[in-house]
Amino acid sequence: MATIKRVLIANRGEIAVRVIRSLKEMGLSTVAVYSDVDRNAPHVLLADQAVSLGPAPSTESYLNQHKILDACRKLKVDAIHPGYGFLSENAVFAREVAKAGITFIGPSPESMEIMGSKLNAKAAVSSYDIPLIPGTSEPVKEGPDALEQAAQIGYPLLIKASAGGGGKGMRLVESPDDFLSQLNRAKSEATTAFGDGSVFLEKFISAPRHIEVQILGDQHGNVVYLFERECSIQRRHQKVIEEAPSMAVDDRLRRKMGTAAVQVAQAAGYYGAGTVEFMLDPDGNFYFLEMNTRLQVEHPITELITGTDLVKEQVSVAQGNPLTFKQEDLKLNGHAIECRIYAEDPDNNFLPDVGTLNLYQRPQGPGIRVDDGYYQGMEVPIYYDPMIAKLIVYGKDRTEAIQRMLRAIDEYRINGLRTTLEFCRFVMNHQAFRSGSYNTNFIQDHFRPNQQNNVDPGLQKVAAAFAAHITATSQKSFKKPPNAETSSNSWRLRAKDQ
């Protein structure tokens, strides 16, 4: 069994902060890494030690495997927690970590490779009774054969990249006339984004719901599912709002999807925390989409409805311990909702925004959790994902959770850039969401620019003037956290000079 005493968190922002907090509760020593623009970020100040990785671009910092492993060796780190994004699903990195004698807090490289390719994943689960969306099982090549394959599936259809996700390398094709041009574009985008131009074809399901199941496995062959999350409110195929459990899933369907998710994990010999994603059609049929071999952004809502700290469970599994609970021990309790607060302008096609958090005040009170990596006065850089925070609420039922989220949104004060806060309010108040009768087309069906704000113009002017006054006052009194090299806590950053 692996002994873990010191953990390096190979990430930044809110997930680094979130992981550090659980590690500290476990009595473990923590090491943060940071780029130049993150020198005074909360995750750096919170960790016991911190190491500079260099310039802001992720390729020169958070994706630099050599620098991260070198820091681990110098500081005698026992394990690496990758968070999500960056190197979290990189099998090559996981192997290098193991070669260095360091524990990777995540699945095996072999499991990553199987599930890292959507085509490999489908092949792996094909021996189980897991429903798959009709489509091709091999990479599609250009030419007449591709057109014939598309005709057999029928239009409309999706062209999807085998590697990666987030909507990159994905094209919806309505007719044969557009097929070849869209195929070339999808392959080109997939090559640029993932270094792998392999794409496949899949039947397009209109008005689906995106349901995912959290699983947890140990290195002794035990796997459980921690129920489902509804992730259908998306822009550009990326999630904005999630809730657990789903209004579209009853107990019978929950057991079927949960069993299928466990089988997917078993097909890959999976251990650690992972997420199996499904598409649910309007008739109640579900289909396997993919598996994410890491902790998901939206994991907090599962933690709230199950009373489980998934990061602590990840560490326990990485140390070789068996799961401490069985499937029958897990119970659904209450309802949780997560809103991702992005630095984006919903009125301008959700384009990212940058700026300084001149005013930043978190909501508080019963049932509210804010996972973030910023404080007032910080700049939101252009180099990374534009998510500022995850606003999470818990209630005894869905109605209470929605009302609590609305209160939390009212209390959240952000000034200096555009965010998705008001869009989240729009969703919480919309009848389609409140009734639970929504799908992945929510934004295109219900949202129009400038719909989210129905505030009296005069009141807006008063609010703007007040915000300007608060900003000016806060800037006078605001003291930037001391530079790590010159502060009394400079020992936290000494490792960067070693």
Residues 381 and 442 grouped into a single domain: yes
pLDDT tens digit string along 128-150?
989 999 999 999 988 889 999 99
Domain stop point among 144, 174, 203: 203
Residues 189 and 255 grouped into a single domain: no
Are the C-beta atoms of 164 and 150 separated by less than 8 Å? Answer: no
Are the C-beta atoms of 343 and 366 separated by less than 8 Å? Answer: no
Give the pLDDT of residue 483.
39
391 — phi, psi (to 5°)? -100, 115
What is the average per-residue pLDDT within 283-292? Answer: 95
Which CATH number does the domain housing residue 62 bear?
A: 3.40.50.20
Task: List, as one string, the DSSP characters of 56-88.
Answer: SSGGGTTT-HHHHHHHHHHTT--EEE--SSTTT
What is the average per-residue pLDDT within 377-391? Answer: 96
pTM for the structure as a whole? 0.88
Residues 414 and 370 grouped into a single domain: yes
HSE-CB at 126 with a 13 A cutoff on CA atoms is 13
What is the average per-residue pLDDT within 235-250? Answer: 96
- pLDDT higher than 70, residue 467: no
Residues 199 and 222 grouped into a single domain: no
Could you list the residue range(s) of the whole structural domain that residue 150 is in?
A: 134-203
Give the pLDDT of residue 487.
32
Give the chain's domain count.
3
What is the average per-residue pLDDT within 376-403? Answer: 97
Domain stop point among 426, 446, 466: 446
Average pLDDT of the chain to the nearest whole number: 91
**49 in a domain, yes or no?**
yes
pLDDT tens digit string along 4-35?
999 999 999 999 999 999 999 999 999 999 99
Give the pLDDT of residue 456.
41
Give the pLDDT of residue 462.
45
Give the pLDDT of residue 453.
56
Q: How does residue 325 score in pLDDT terms, banded at 50, 70 and 90? A: very high
- pLDDT higher than 90, residue 43: yes
Burial class (CB in 10 A: 0-12, 13-18, 19+), 448: exposed
Domain stop point among 402, 431, 446: 446
Give the pLDDT of residue 391.
98
Q: How does residue 167 score in pLDDT terms, banded at 50, 70 and 90? A: confident
- pLDDT higher than 80, residue 454: no
Give the pLDDT of residue 452.
65
Q: How does residue 124 score in pLDDT terms, banded at 50, 70 and 90? A: very high
Q: What pairs with residue 50 in β-bridges?
A: 32
Residues 346 and 433 grouped into a single domain: yes
Residues 70 and 184 grouped into a single domain: no
Q: Give the end-to-end CA distance of the chain in Å, rounded to a whole number.
A: 30
**121 in a domain, yes or no?**
no
Which residue from 94, 98, 128 is spatially nearest to 113, judged by alpha carbons?
A: 94
Task: Reply yes or no: is the peptide bond before residue 245 cis, omega within 30 of 0.
Answer: yes
**Percentage of the chain with pLDDT > 90?**
85
The three-state secondary structure class of 233 is: strand
**456 in a domain, yes or no?**
no
Give the pLDDT of residue 143.
80
- pLDDT higher than 60, residue 65: yes
Residues 191 and 306 grouped into a single domain: no
What is the average per-residue pLDDT within 104-126? Answer: 95
**37 in a domain, yes or no?**
yes
**284 in a domain, yes or no?**
yes
Nearest 10 degrees: Cα torsion 20, 352, 430, 411: 50
- pLDDT higher than 70, residue 212: yes
Are the C-beta atoms of 174 and 155 separated by less than 8 Å? Answer: yes
Are the C-beta atoms of 212 and 261 separated by less than 8 Å? Answer: no
Give the pLDDT of residue 490.
32
Residues 36 and 15 grouped into a single domain: yes
Structure tokens at 376: 């007032």
Structure tokens at 6: 């010191």
Q: What pairs with residue 398 in β-bridges?
A: none
DSSP secondary structure code for residue 297 in this structure = T
Give the pLDDT of residue 450.
82
Catalytic one of 254, 294, 362, 492: 294
Which CATH number does the domain housing residue 387 bear?
A: 3.30.470.20
Residues 412 and 426 grouped into a single domain: yes
Residues 236 and 185 grouped into a single domain: no
Give the torsion sign (CA, 309, 312, 316, 318): positive
Are the C-beta atoms of 43 and 32 separated by less than 8 Å? Answer: yes
What is the average per-residue pLDDT within 172-179? Answer: 94
Residues 269 and 376 grouped into a single domain: yes
pLDDT tens digit string along 253-280?
999 999 999 999 999 999 999 999 999 9
Q: Which long-range contacts (CB under 8 A, 24 or more apart) does 123-131 make?
A: 124/264, 124/267, 124/268, 125/263, 125/264, 125/267, 125/288, 127/267, 128/260, 128/263, 128/264, 128/267, 129/263, 130/260, 130/263, 130/264, 130/288, 131/260, 131/285, 131/286, 131/287, 131/288
Please say if 294 is a catalytic residue: yes
List, in sequence order, the alpha helices (H) in 100-212.
109-116, 118-125, 144-153, 176-194
